Structure 1
């Protein structure tokens, strides 16, 4: 039986799976939102609701704000929906504009406050349930971040805060200065992105000394009741139907194992891939990135699948392509 989400333990009735909305709104350009974009949003939303998803993940940069605009229009067309779902968005990335040579990360007070105001305007809502700081900013002043979050909380614009792509040390630095707890850490985790598991096994092993996933991050979040969210949990379909021509042997073998388990358990490959994450006792919440209604529906029931320890390890070792010591 799956453990309750840390979010649930905090009284937030979040679904076991979340829908990531990066694919809504069309291209990453400045073209206006179209009627077809709105239709796609309704279809993705309905597919998500049909499998029990009530948690929707945005960011101010997704399709340059158009993903949030799509949801804002949906709220206008479906009165009462806003209060039935949980909205999460992110800030802190500034995309390149003409004349720029790179994207930037910006955790300045001014940028955080302006980003949230933009998100609220596009969504057409008065508050965000959870705001994540999107990626670490090397120039971050934690005292400045603390002041921004304090203002957002006091104004009622944001109810809870979290981070994305941060290590335990980075979270600890923010916690030193911020009054509000950080209740989410969203990380890249999937059956294809397994460095978060490798980090557990890397202690005192020379061949893994260059592992980049920060040791102790998963453990810190678990100890602090911080919700671990997995972005990219479906690995872009790598194990659930994507053509595998040219893929390495470990990927091909893992896809075969996933299909065999799906057949054995009378479910879909997508559900098996998600169940691998959700079997972990950290109570990981996958944030699926597809907006294809059929693929969303294929994720249904993943939270009802039980993988044995043997099945979990077989998938892990198959993916990494190297036996355990």
Structure 2
């Protein structure tokens, strides 16, 4: 078993550094979905990520049906879901009413009494933090949610919310992969007149480390905003694939494992959200969970992705 388990700071949770993401779960039959979930558990993954907009809620229900959710299964899992996006209406909603209703729907679909972690999915510019605080307190008092976090938020947005809520925000889920590296680019090329030196995320990685907020990386195999996988893309990333394949051969693993290992090599202990629906690829990814790339290899991969090392 290659998956590592770390404590989520400011919680009683001990979570795998690999997360099974369920955004595309309804692409599988119930039997296929069950096989994927059980494969994840066998590989040591105990953390499962959902959102109420994935399949308009159908992915959560499919997950529960596939695994025949019951108390014995539930206690083996850390369940996380997200709310705040009204995808049909195309806007964001952090109102107390919407958060409470969303959680009730999530719990019903997942066939569970509680969520381990609830994330606010994307920043709502109209957020009234006092309302969010009321919603979080009610959910915690009712035993419906144990811990809270955010997704795709910058330091100021997190700090504003944290000012009003007594619960410690414990997670920030954000896009990060070898081919999507704003988390680290500006820090490497600080004060230089290059596109790479533009600070696109307000140093969120350093902020989260300073405030004991666990980072989770979504789309670890994608480049751009769902622009497609970079692995095997010899048109846009020929040098990167050449370097990754070379290192994969050295460690006798797949390129998928190296893409994971590049993220987990970072000392922030970033969890990797695996959105694959392929059980074998999930296994391949897990082989990178405990693979420690050398510093030279890590930088070599970063440079091969087209990044500047001043």
Structure 1 counterpart of 2:152, from 165, 185, 190: 165
Matched, 1:279 2:265: yes
- Name structure 2 gaps, 5 residues minimum: none
Q: Structure 2 CA distance, aligned partners of 1:125 and 1:179?
A: 25
Does the aligned pair in 2 maintain the 1:92–1:133 contact within 8 Å?
yes
Distance change in 2, residues 1:297/1:75 (3 Å): closer
Matched, 1:185 2:185: no
Q: Which residue of 2 aligns with 1:54?
A: 46
Distance change in 2, residues 1:63/1:12 (3 Å): same
Structure 2 counterpart of 1:204, from 181, 191, 204: 191
- The 3-state SS of whatever aligns with 1:229 is strand
Q: Which residue of 2 aligns with 1:266?
A: 252
Q: Which residue of 1 aligns with 2:17?
A: 16
- Superposed CA deviations along residues 49-76 of structure 1, whole A, max 9, x for unmatched, are 1211110000001011111001221353
* Structure 1 residue 216 displacement after superposition: 2.2
- The 3-state SS of whatever aligns with 1:14 is strand
- The 3-state SS of whatever aligns with 1:107 is coil
Distance change in 2, residues 1:228/1:77 (3 Å): closer
Does the aligned pair in 2 maintain the 1:14–1:55 contact within 8 Å?
yes
Structure 2 counterpart of 1:124, from 76, 95, 111: 111
Distance change in 2, residues 1:281/1:211 (3 Å): same
Does the aligned pair in 2 maintain the 1:191–1:276 contact within 8 Å?
yes
Cα root mean square deviation, aligned: 2.0
Tell me the TM-score normalised to structure 2 length: 0.92
Deviates more, 1:280-289 or 1:213-222: 213-222
Q: Structure 1 CA distance, aligned partners of 2:197 and 2:189?
A: 9
Q: Which residue of 1 aligns with 2:82?
A: 90
- Superposed CA deviations along residues 85-120 of structure 1, whole A, max 9, x for unmatched, are 110000000012xxx5xx111000000000000000
Q: Which residue of 1 aligns with 2:275?
A: 289
Q: Structure 2 CA distance, aligned partners of 1:71 and 1:311?
A: 37
Matched, 1:147 2:138: no
Q: Structure 1 CA distance, aligned partners of 2:263 and 2:113?
A: 33
Q: Structure 2 CA distance, aligned partners of 1:288 and 1:50?
A: 15
Q: Which residue of 2 aligns with 1:73?
A: 65
How do 1:20-35 and structure 2 match up within 5 A?
A: 20-26=21-27
Q: Structure 2 CA distance, aligned partners of 1:92 and 1:145?
A: 11
Q: Which residue of 2 aligns with 1:234?
A: 221
- The 3-state SS of whatever aligns with 2:194 is helix
Distance change in 2, residues 1:172/1:4 (3 Å): farther
Structure 2 counterpart of 1:316, from 297, 302, 309: 302
Q: Which residue of 2 aligns with 1:29?
A: none
Q: Structure 1 CA distance, aligned partners of 2:33 and 2:75?
A: 18
Tell me the TM-score normalised to structure 1 length: 0.88
Q: Structure 2 CA distance, aligned partners of 1:49 and 1:3?
A: 13
Does the aligned pair in 2 maintain the 1:6–1:226 contact within 8 Å?
no
* Structure 1 residue 300 displacement after superposition: 2.3
* Structure 1 residue 143 displacement after superposition: 0.7
Distance change in 2, residues 1:306/1:210 (3 Å): closer
